[in-house]
Amino acid sequence: MRKGVVDFITLGCSKNLVDAERVMRQLEAAGWTCVHDPEEPKGEVCVINTCGFIGDAKEESINMILQMAERKKKGKLRKLIVMGCLSERYRAELEAELPEVDEYYGKFDFEGMVERLKSPTGQTCPTGRKYERKLTTPRHYAYLKISEGCNRMCSYCAIPLITGRHTSRPKAEILEEVRWLVSQGVKELNVIAQDLSSYGLDIAQRHLLPELVDEMAQVPGVEWIRLHYAYPTDFPEELLDVMARHQNVCKYLDIALQHCTDHMLGLMRRHISRAEQDALIRKIREKVPGICIRTTLMVGHPGETEEDFEELKAWVKEMRFERMGCFAYSDEEGTYANTHYKDDVPQEIKEQRAAELMAIQQEISGELMAQFVGKTERVIVDRQEGDYWVGRTQYDSPEVDCEVMIGVQNTDRFADRIQTGEFVDVRITKAEEFDLYGEIVKTQNIPC
């Protein structure tokens, strides 16, 4: 057990990661040493940042708590703390079932943890700017959370039950954080929210996302801005003009569409029709030529028929999304679907449909990726892995999308100039369904 060390284990999404990074920054300012996602926890304190989105995530969080509780029982851990989405929603139940945990915090009260953990060096709790954090991502990219919560109340989603109503951060504060992140060496900003499309509606009664992104793009040192989790209903179309105007706003939009049939969009309470959804996709591609659309689809929602699924398959073939994920419906306590519908699609059918849809997408992805062969793309280098430098184009988000593999043997004349976080021009020589291969033709940090 290492005195003065706090092990942080973060489960779930990048929004959770930002919360963990903020707490770690405060703890380190108070004299603690924080280790994020250690391979082998050894600290005297362990903080588990939980996810409570779907059943599998909840199970993973519970298992991790039990694992660390066992470590505490053996005297290898002095204090066990749980925070995040799972404890935000089920704190009373967790306290009753898992008394081995010393303290529980939810999604929004975690700053009290810093005050309660006595500093190992006797330092007082720092005040500082609340957005400052200990970055756990590679230095050249970071996640930027611009809002919390969601007002949409889709039938299947527990997020509003956990995080509450949509709350936008002030634009000035976000821009201040952008400048701070750049000062820390960050070049790529991955903008995240549960619902990007609603940013600003609660504080200004109008869409502020277009002007926020426009002003972010003008901050010196911002090389790439990437947008995650837009909502198709009431989408701020002025954003497309901003994306087309600025070279450092990546031609990339993560917009979860979930389904395509009017029947299922209605049952899912998406407040949009197929015709409206298709028109939006066409407009996005028309206004931002060459854009990569990343989406997520759901199969097996209550009421989904074979006819719905066949139409969904045909639609995926027609839309040819550049990036796509698919999930089987999970019946979540307290959601509209849980209380109003019968979970009538057998689990094996859900999984079969998800596999079918991803097989279709794999073929589409292979065809689209092959179009890169012979082209030269600007790539940011994330890491060296064995015989390859591994990077990404503007069309790929960290950890979830495709990567570019650059053979080390092809980089000899550039070796002294290749560093993690630098941009290089890569000629693509080979394509697979989810990866590209290439060779460097130029190392440069191209201003946008």
pLDDT tens for 278-319 read 999 999 999 999 999 999 999 999 999 999 999 999 999 999
Helices (H), 42-132: 55-73, 85-97, 112-116
Residue of 31 and 244 predicted with greater confidence: 244
Q: State the pTM of this model.
A: 0.92
Helix axis angle, 274-287 to 238-245, nearest 10°: 20
Are 209 and 197 in contact, with CB atoms under 8 Å apart?
A: yes
The residues with which 224 forms a beta bridge, in sequence order, are: 188
Are 262 and 290 in contact, with CB atoms under 8 Å apart?
A: no
Indicate if the pLDDT at residue 114 is higher than 90: no
Residue 188: phi and psi, rounded to 5, are -115, 125
In angstroms, rounded to a whole number, what is the distance separating the alpha carbons of residues 355 and 351? Answer: 6
Indicate if the pLDDT at residue 235 is higher than 60: yes
Residue of 304, 402, 318 whose CA lies nearest to 360: 318
Most confident of 6-15, 210-219, 437-446: 210-219
358: which 2 tokens? 């991803």
Residue of 53, 52, 38, 49 whose CA lies nearest to 5: 38
Q: What is the CA radius of gyration of the chain?
A: 23
Domains (range + CATH), the chain: 2-116 (3.40.50.12160), 141-370 (3.80.30.20), 376-443 (2.40.50.140)
The 10 Å Cβ neighbour count of residue 247 is 15
- Amino acid code (one letter) for 209: L
In angstroms, rounded to a whole number, what is the distance separating the alpha carbons of residues 112 and 192? Answer: 24
In angstroms, rounded to a whole number, what is the distance separating the alpha carbons of residues 123 and 130? Answer: 18
